[in-house]
Structure formats: C-alpha cells, structure tokens
Structure 1
C-alpha cells in the first residue's frame, strides 16, 4: 500500500512515503516551526522523489494531536484535503502514540511526552506490543507534579521518549521509585516512516469531514468564552460560534 504520512504536531516536521514495509522517501526537519509554509512543499517533493504521482497514493496517515494548535491544523488540513480530492483513505494516529512507536522492545512501559509549558505536559503511558503501543494510562494535558503522582502506581521501569525529555528527566528520576530510562538521539523525534507503516494496519476514519485535531485542552477562544460564561460548559460555546 502506497501511503503518505505527516506529523506536524510539534517542533519536528516529519513526512514519509512508504509502500508496505519499504520506505520510499522521508524527511524530518527540527529547525523551524513554520509548518504551514513548508509542509505541502515537502509532501509534493517526497511524492516525486518516490517516483509516484498523487494519484498513486492509496492512504494518508496523520498525527492528529495533541500538540501545537497551529501545527496540528496543518497535518489535519493536508490529510483531509488529500483524502477528499484523491478519494483515498485517511487514518489518524495520536501524536503521543507516534512517539511511542520509537520504542520497539516488547512489553516495555513507555511515557511519551511533549512540553506544554508552565510545568504542564501532554503525556500518557503505553505498553509496547508486536502490533504497536497499547494505551495503559489515558492521554492527558496534566501538571508535571500530578503526573508524577499518577506514575507512582507502577512497579516496572518506565521509558521516557520525546525531544522534551531532557527538561524533565531529573524530576522523574527523583520522584519515582522505579528505573527511569530514556532513548537516544533520533528516537526522540517522531518518525513519519514509522507512522506510515503503523497507519497501514489501522482502520481508516469513516467520515473524513468529521476529523478534527485532538487538542486535548481547550483552545484560547474556548477558555475565554467559558471564563465569561461560568457554569455553562462547552455546549454553549459551540452554539455561539
């Protein structure tokens, strides 16, 4: 299956074209966050380098969050447009699960994380398996202190993964009573080639039009609306827009 995968959810921008278990072309950029300016250009270039045309693609896989508001919208928009215009399947995969794919040892507990600023993380716990990471603790937008308390339940080693891990690893090691491991170098970056091959095994979305980014937190507009309308929840906000 000829598959295009895109992850623009955080600082790295990673794109790949694969055919089954063969990587045809891939690029990962970590030096800028102007994903809206570069992502589509990179997609077009990689498809061409893979000696394919857009019409050859059979599936597009996107990392749909959590992460940067703007970054998430880039991959989601490109994925939906391509799926609709080319008439191909669209698969969405968690951005945290995408990171967890980089830990291949079986039966390991993996803690992928992104820095959400102000000592807050996007994170979860996965267990590795032959068919991909399985969710153990749900994905959260959570204060670091609260997350460390949740992780006290585990008696097995934990493997942290993500380019933001160096900011927090010392606190994990200090507050947890189990070995805290890290991964090396490039394995802390999302890999679109891994995302593509994993996405080939996942069911496509039933309705492309209903796909939205998984922000895992309220947008600024929602937060401001709820501040002005205490006790009204999010339903009223949706009706007001």
Structure 2
C-alpha cells in the first residue's frame, strides 16, 4: 500500500511517503511559516524525488487534530481534495498520537502536547499507543493535576511536543526536567508515524471528513460571550461550516 501522509497541525510541517510500511521519504520543516504556501510544493517535491505519481497512491493520511485551526483546515482540505479527485482512500488520526508514537518505550506514559497559548495546551496521555487520557484542550496546570491521579509511577512519564513554555509547570508538578524530551527531532510531529498508524485504519467518508478542533474558534467564543441566545432559538441556528 502506497500512503501519502502529512501533518500541518502545529508550527512544524511534515510530509512522508510510505510503501507497505517502508519509509520512502520524509520532509519536515520546523519553521513558523504559513503551511498553505509550502504543503503542496513539499508533496510535489517528495513525490518527484521518490519517482511516484499521484495515480500510484492508495491512501491519504492526515493529522486530523487537535492543533492550529488554520493548519487543520488546510490538511483536511488538501486531504479531501486529493482523495476525491484521485479516488483514493482517506484516513485521519490524532495529531497528538502521532507525536506520542515517536517515543519508543513501551513502559512509558507519554504526554504529547501542542502549545495553545496563555498557559493552555492540547494534550493527552498515551501508553504503548493506547489512549489513557483523551485528547483535549486544557489549562495545562490542571491537566498535570489530573495526570497525577492516573499515573502511579511519576518516573515513567515522558513529556514531548511543544513543551518549551511548560517546563516550569511540569517541574512544579513533581516531574524532572530530564523527563521532558529536549531533542528537537525527537519531539517534532512525524508524517512517517502517521503513515504507519494509518495503514491499519478504516477509510473514512471523504465528504464527511472534518478536523477535530476540540475548541471553538476564538472569534466564535467572543461572539457567544457577547450575544445571549435568543429565546426559542433552535440549538443549531448557528452552525460551523
């Protein structure tokens, strides 16, 4: 099975091509840039370098969220467009799971995170690829308090992803700095990991495929704060498109 996988859910952009689980090539850009200007050119470059044409693909795999609103919309749009126009299978999976799977330690509890600003994060808890605490948008200090109730051995917890702004909070919660992956390559999102996981997933309905934001857009939140729901207004009066 030939899989094109990509992740634009955070600051980094990652694109990979796999054949039957074998990595043919992967490009990762760890730059704060508009992914809309680089995603398709990166896909084109990678496919040209490995000598693969669009018709050769069997499946498109996309990091479905959580993460950056713009990045998730971009990935979903590109994934759906390619899958529909080429008549290929489409699968989506957790951006946090893809980060967590870079930690090659079956005994470790892994906390992948994406910085959501102002002390907030998208975070979860995984062990050996299995979800223990669901992906969520959270105040990270509160997440750490919840984490302490789920894990009996603090020494087996590893933090990875966009952890730079949470080092103090992690240490104040009783964990050591050595439990935070500092190597930039080791904590970056990997489209290769997405492709490996995606090989065993059930294809999704292309038309129904949507990002998993886990949080309302900031503009929507502000609108809801300043507008009381009109009496007898149906719950679905305001819909996200």
Q: Please give the TM-score of this superposition, normalised by the length of structure 1.
A: 0.90
Answer whether contact 1:13 1:30 (CA < 8 A) is retained. Answer: yes
Q: Distance in 2 between matches of 1:193 and 1:82?
A: 19
The count of aligned residue pairs is: 234
How far the C-alpha of 1:176 sits from its partner, in A, is: 2.9
- Partner residue in 2 for 1:152: 148
1:2-39 residue CA offsets vs partner (Å, 9 max, x unmatched): 00001000100000011012211210001232100110
- Partner residue in 1 for 2:103: 103
Q: Please give the TM-score of this superposition, normalised by the length of structure 2.
A: 0.90
- Partner residue in 1 for 2:3: 3
| 2:209 maps to 1:208 | no
| 2:118 maps to 1:118 | yes
How far the C-alpha of 1:231 sits from its partner, in A, is: 5.3
Answer whether contact 2:167 2:177 (CA < 8 A) is retained. Answer: no
Answer whether contact 1:152 1:176 (CA < 8 A) is retained. Answer: no
Q: Secondary structure at the match of 1:124?
A: strand
1:203-225 residue CA offsets vs partner (Å, 9 max, x unmatched): 111x1111111111001342133
- Partner residue in 2 for 1:48: 48
Which structure 2 residue ranges, 5 or more long, are not aligned? none
How far the C-alpha of 1:180 sits from its partner, in A, is: 6.7
169-178 or 54-63, larger mean C-alpha shift: 169-178
| 2:137 maps to 1:141 | yes
Q: Distance in 1 between matches of 2:32 and 2:164?
A: 19
Q: 1:181 to 1:86 in 2, by over 3 A?
A: same
- Partner residue in 2 for 1:229: 227
- Partner residue in 2 for 1:199: 198
Answer whether contact 1:91 1:199 (CA < 8 A) is retained. Answer: yes
Q: Distance in 2 between matches of 1:25 and 1:177?
A: 36
1:165-224 residue CA offsets vs partner (Å, 9 max, x unmatched): 13212321221368971233311001111111111111111x111111111100134213
Answer whether contact 1:66 1:96 (CA < 8 A) is retained. Answer: yes
67-76 or 220-229, larger mean C-alpha shift: 220-229
How far the C-alpha of 1:235 sits from its partner, in A, is: 2.6
Answer whether contact 1:15 1:43 (CA < 8 A) is retained. Answer: yes
Q: Distance in 1 between matches of 2:132 and 2:28?
A: 28
168-177 or 185-194, larger mean C-alpha shift: 168-177
Which structure 1 residue ranges, 5 or more long, are not aligned? none
Answer whether contact 1:226 1:234 (CA < 8 A) is retained. Answer: no
Q: Distance in 2 between matches of 1:70 and 1:177?
A: 33
1:62-102 residue CA offsets vs partner (Å, 9 max, x unmatched): 00111111111111111000110111111101111110110
